[in-house]
Structure 1
Amino acid sequence: MPDVSHILVVAPNFKRRLSGVTSTIVQLVPKQAETIAIATLGPGLPDHLPKLHWLDLPKLRRRPKGRRFRVWHARRNVEMLAGVVMRDLLRMPLKLLFTSAAQRHHTGWTRFLISRMDGVVATSERSRSYLKAPARVVMHGIDCESFSPDGPMPSGDLAASLEGRRIVGCSGRIRHQKGTDLFVEAMIALLPSHPDWTAVITGRVTAENRAFATDLEGRIAAAGLKERILFAGEVDDIAAWFRRFDLYVAPPRNEGFGLTPLEAMASRTPVVASDAGAFAELIVEGVTGRVVPAGDAGALASAIAPFLSDETMRLAAGTAGLEHVRAKFPLEREAMQLGAVYEALWTSTP
């Protein structure tokens, strides 16, 4: 357990269930901890992260060593509220920072909380456009060692059955928001003309989305493609599947940020994605992949089709994507830019 007196940044995580925010904290904090005294606070986080316990909260009343205050880096409303209470009511020496990935107009309550922040970060230009407060854009990065062309391929019966096949992949929870049905519709349209390709969908089905998944399975069976559009379920090593995919498709109707296109490109896999989340800011159109209107299965199929037919195009896009991610989106860049935001807060007037 870290010494609270030395902790300069607290990254709260007040949600036990795994989410994109939690995943960001899990990946980012270890990289930040290499250069800054940071600790997490909250449930559902792995043991390897530097953590504070709830009983440590009263210790935040004391200034950290070497600084006038700590940075409380919130990513949810409840975490902003906790920071406001601690700073304004309990008079703890804190500066409050909020990171917003939302791509929608905020509620009045959220706008009020944001107005109480000392600093705001947006994860994309699109996210920043919905904010009423000044914000700096710090886009997410990924671990380019974990996601790379080099490493193990998937193992198990499913992977073995696909040996020698071309694979177009789609990853994420099976639900309407994620556009799984749009991917299935595109595959039903395309696969009969491309007999050497198989579609693989990774991701779990929650109880509330079981009927949605069952309907998709019925549509696939009716098209005679049960052996070529496969549901892999939740996989142990998604990085291995990104290496195995020959093309990756990200079809969400809406998204906060969306890391999977970066993870695919870092694996030298070209991407076709909807214009959701930050995808249009991650993909170099016509170079590392394609971006199509969200919710349009026909446009999705039209963008996918050339990649299934043209290996030279596919390989060129994969190589360009790998170079693009390594140059623009390493996790180290995100950690460095957030460090600059913290420094600006520390050097600002009280």
Structure 2
Amino acid sequence: MAQAAPADTMASVEPEESDTMTIDPPKPTWFFVDGGWDMPGTSIFDGESGKMKGMVETRRLADMAIDPAGKYYYVSETIWSKNDRGTRQDMVTVYDSKTLNLVTEIPMPGRLLIGSRKNNFIISDDGKTGYVYDFSPTSGVNIVDLVKRKLITAIELPGCASLMPNPGVGFSALCSDGSLATVAIRGTKADITHTAPFFSASDDPIFDNFAYDRTRKQTTFLTYTGQIYTAKISATPTVSAPFSIQAAAGIRVGDAKPLDVNWYPGGRQPMALHRATGMMFVLMHKGEYWSHKASGDEVWQVDIAAQKVVKRFVLKEPMNNIEVSQTDKPLLYMNGEKGEVQVLDVATGEEKHKIEKAGGGIITVLEPS
């Protein structure tokens, strides 16, 4: 019969201690990739290292916005008590940016199941107010106090969507009549005005994933045929005359004629803007009008002020979403139908990283203050 080992020779067992990992607040080199239909969550990557930093819990068709102060990630979402059925709940969910822990949920009226759009859920430049697009059954916007974490009011905005901040006023939105609506908030009341129509939503629509520049208080728009507009955002916005991206590259202007093959912009998120330099990066493909969902075979770098294409990048494989880091040495972030992310150095065109299974949805970066 075996004898027990003496107590002093038995291996000591260290008690387990649990801990919680934290990450830094969002940095200018980071980018955020929505998983799309194939993967849950929004993954956080560092563009310099190509390494994943964490993941924000987002459902399909949710929209994420970043607190300008970097303290929180906000998610506007619709969920059901039984996964894909049961009681529907619409809310803005708040996560701590360091721990990624849930902070709170702000109940919302209406139906927030819109998703995959950068401009359905926006935050005011001072970070105090959220504007959440709602469709139940008409277009509207829920206005949220992000400091007190409660709904301020819900307003109807028929025929309008795709929001942008309007500092000191409220917000502005694109409308189906071709105008830009401005919604001035007065407590729980809203005063709505419109510019004159400047584009045709039926003949040459604007891509809804446009770019707002917080420092210049300016929005840059791109149409299906390749027309580029800029709008100064104020209580009475002004919209510039457009110019053609094709003409800026020295080729024939894009048009809406059927079976007319040309270079056109396309993809789910076809454009990105480097705010400091005014350089715009556009996914382009050869096709005809209404091929706006086609992924890009090239990236065209456009100098907005000079109205000139200054560089063209040929891609190894088609890409569907594009963003650019707001850094002195910008990086391009792109993904396609395979869910792989490609990171390019703008200065050299060199591929710095290729990240597999990163996600196929829209890409978000931290905007400069």
Q: Which structure is richer in relative contact order (CA contacts within 8 A, separation 6 or more)? A: 1
TM-score range, shorter chain: under 0.3
The structure carrying a bigger strand percent of its residues is 2
Structure whose alpha-carbon radius of gyration is higher: 2
The structure carrying a bigger helix percent of its residues is 1
TM-score for the superposition, normalised by structure 2: 0.26
